[in-house]
Amino acid sequence: MKYNPDTLRFYAPGTILNLPSLDGIAEIEDAAALTIEPHPTQLQWEAWQTRDRLKEKLRPSNYNGTMREVVVEVMEEPYARLLDARQRGWKIPNCSNLRRTTTHAQKDTESYIGLAITAQATSSGRGTIQEIQAEVWIAPVPRQQQTSLMTSEERRALGMNSRTYAIGQNGGSAIKRFVTLPRTETEAFNELHRSARAIGMSVTRRALLHPISTPIRD
C-alpha cells in the first residue's frame, strides 16, 4: 500500500482538486478508502483493487475520446447527497433501499466520502465538445447488516460477526462504492449561445450609438 494509514487524512469537504486527466483518479479513490478503513487486511485491499476502473465508468457509452481538465470537488454532507441523488436527476446502478440512517448506523454514514467530478470531453480539431459530470461515493461496508442467508448461530460458529459476513458478500472488500451514470452538457452549444447573444448585444449597441437616418419622403 502506498499510504501510511496512521497519518492519512483525506481532503476536507469543499476542497477542489484539478487533474490534467482521469489517470490520477484511482489514487484519490485509494486515499479515500484508506481514510475510511485505515487498516484493511491484505485480502480486503486486494479485493478493493479489483473494482472496475472509475475512469471507464465516467466515460459515456457513446464517447471514445479523451477527457481532460478534470475537476474533483469533495462533497459536503455526502450521505445526504447520496440519498437525494435521484431527486437531483442522477441514475445510480446497483444502489437501492437507501434511507435515512438509524442511530446504530450513524458512525458508518458519517464516514462516507463523496466526490463531484467534471471532465472536459475533447475532440481532435474541435477542442472541447462537452462537459462530462458524475458523482461518486466511497463508503464502509455496514457494521450491522442483516441477512437471511445465514443465521446468527451459523455466523457465531464460524467466528463471523455481521460486518465480517457483509464484507464477504461485498467480494471481500471492506469498502464499497456508488457511481452515478455520467451525464453530459454540451459546452460547445452553450458557448455558441453566449457568443450569439454577445454579437446581438454588440450590434444593438452600435445601432443605438450610430442610428441610420432615413430621409422623410412626401
Q: What are the residue ranges spanned by the domains of the chain?
A: 16-209
Residue 152 φ/ψ, nearest 5 degrees: -65, -35
- 158-176: per-residue pLDDT in tens? 444 444 545 555 566 789 9
Distance CA 13, CA 43 (A): 30
Is the per-residue pLDDT at 64 higher than 70? yes
Nearest to 78 by CA among 108, 110, 28, 114: 114
Beta pairing class for 127-140 and 16-21: unpaired
Distance CA 30, CA 5 (A): 11
pLDDT of residue 109: 85
Nearest to 119 by CA among 29, 18, 28, 26: 18
- 98-153: per-residue pLDDT in tens? 665 555 466 778 899 999 999 998 877 777 778 999 999 999 987 554 333 344 55
